[in-house]
Amino acid sequence: MRPLLFGDLWIAQSLAEQALWLVAIVSTLLLGILLVLSLLSPDREAEEEPDKPRLPIFNARFILVFFAAFGWVALILYHQGFGWSWLLAFSFAAGLAVAALGKAAALLLLRLIPRRSHGNEERLLLQTGKVLEPIPSHRNGFGKVQLDMRGTPYELEAITAGKELRPGDGIRVIGIIDERIILVEPIEGQGYPHEQPFGGSRG
């Protein structure tokens, strides 16, 4: 009986309202799955092709948060009787605001997390690789790098204490922030004297 009632309720809605429900529910579910996978697989990211760098802000989490907020806000405004012009404008602005706040909160937490070392993470120290996404200078944000460990590529988020690093730049791991975020320096430089590798000193 309940599936029939739900089906009748769904059919009674307009195509526009159905579309808003789909955007809100699907993006929320995908966001939840992505967060669970991130917790279960800290060393890997099941994302897009690594050889195609993009702006760091527009990653999967940012996009899914945007669409989830957009969908739910749009549904609320739709039931409040807002016209489509105002509804789309407010929902778009709300989606961007929530996604940006989420990104800022993640960045703030990154900077507050104390350094720690785990046996499984120490193998990353002094590993080399290349930048996939731009890494802002002086710990003002994080990008993404790819490390080649025993022939297996690993993608991790990274920060740097020096100048900005661009896609394709060679890097070396000199510190561990947490299970999935590392501190790197450019290979071609002499490093940064005030930054010592976590777990030991460089030769």
Which residues, 6+ apart, have CB-to-CB distance to 32 below 8 Å?
Answer: none
* Range of the structural domain that residue 149 is part of: 119-186
Residue 197 lies in a domain: no
pLDDT digits over 159-169, tens only? 998 899 999 89
Q: How many domains does the chain have?
A: 2
Say yes or no: 103 and 40 in one domain: yes
23 and 75: one domain?
A: yes
Global model pTM greater than 0.85: no
Q: Exposed/middle/buried for 3, CB within 10 Å: 0-12, 13-18, 19+? A: exposed
- Output the pLDDT for position 81: 85
Q: In the prediction, which pLDDT does 91 show? A: 92
- Residue 108 and residue 17 in one domain: yes
Residue carrying structure tokens 């789909």 = 22
Residue where a domain terminates, one of 82, 112, 142: 112
* 11/86 same-domain check: yes
Are 200 and 122 a contacting pair, CB within 8 Å? Answer: no
pLDDT, averaged across the chain: 75
Judgement on whether residues 179 and 151 belong to the same structural domain of the protein: yes
Q: Are residues 99 and 155 in the same domain?
A: no
CATH number of the domain residue 144 falls in: 2.40.50.140
Pair (6, 93) in one structural domain: yes
String of b and e for 43-66 (b: at least 16 CB within 10 Å)?
Answer: eebeeeebeebeebeebebbbbbb
For residues 145 and 61, membership in a common domain is answered with no
Band of pLDDT at residue 135, cut at 50, 70 and 90: very high
Are both 101 and 127 inside the same structural domain? no
pLDDT confidence bin for 195, thresholds 50/70/90:
very low
Do residues 140 and 99 share a domain? no
Residue 64: pLDDT over 70: yes
